Amino acid sequence: MAVPPLRELVAAGHDIALCVTRPDRRRGRGGAVTPSPVKEAALELGIPVSHSMDDVAASGVELAIVVAYGRIIPAALLDRVPMVNLHFSLLPRWRGAAPVEWAILAGDAETGVCLMKVEEGLDTGPVYARRAVPIPEDFDLDRLRHVLVDVGSALLVASLSDGLAGLPVPVPQEGEPTIASKLTPQDLELHWEQDGAQLQRVIRLGRAWTTFRGRRLGILKATLVDAGTGEVADTDGLGVGTLVGTSAITGHGTLELEEVQPESRAPMTAADWARGARPLAGERLGSD
């Protein structure tokens, strides 16, 4: 996520003395060591890379920019180097690790980007600038993130056009804070007794799952085709989670499954999966 802001800052003529990102990771069956996308971009741009925040203090920079770093920055370092954070929410709503995900889950009509002063607390610093972004109901997590990154990159470059001295006086956050904790697998499990619109929000995050015949089934894409008029779209006495073709009955409405991922298999269309699985009449998702 931090790659576009890095490239935009370099294109705008800023001198980037150091890039700090996570250590390389082993990926795939062969266990090949893979650098982060941020490290790849930095090396391509000729920027030195470190995996330790301690190196920031020794770099001599006048300002550090934090984008999706995901770790607590020591107070002692904040005392030595001023820092600004590009945060993907309209603070103080959705402070924390997963602001974009929680904005979708909550059904928020809009989210946005804030450029804030980094303080010791969790996203509590005053805000230099912000931009609001609407959340269309058909946007999944990846699509919304791309929009926010583009808006945030532009906001960052504009705010730093005159350097550190050109930043406006930051404004304290106002309103009731909400916390966007890191999502767990349990948060992404589909409970079919819930409203279909809420289940679709979980699916829009890209990692939703349920079970079928005792095995995990990822639900990657689905459309709410019947909002229902009662608590259960169930005129024939069918329970929640029941499959009718590739449609699943929810606590309020029906979801048409479009793309799924059976356990240990590649993603496929729901129609292809159903042809192979051949659900029996009345068989349910999530009933194990």
Q: What is the mean pLDDT of the chain?
A: 92
Q: What is the mean pLDDT of residues 60-87?
A: 92
The predicted model gives 131-142 an average pLDDT of: 97
Mean pLDDT to the nearest integer, 126-139 = 97
Closest CA to 65 of 18, 24, 22: 18
pLDDT band for position 230 (cuts 50, 70, 90): very low
Write out pLDDT tens, residues 78-125.
999 999 999 999 999 999 999 999 999 999 999 999 999 999 889 999
- Beta strand residue intervals within the chain, DSSP E: 19-20, 25-27, 32-34, 49-50, 64-67, 83-87, 95-96, 110-117, 127-134, 179-180, 209-212, 215-226, 243-244, 247-249, 254-262, 268-269
Q: What is the pLDDT of residue 28?
A: 65
In angstroms, the first-to-last Cα distance of the chain is: 37
- Mean per-residue pLDDT, 169-198: 96
pLDDT score at 43: 94
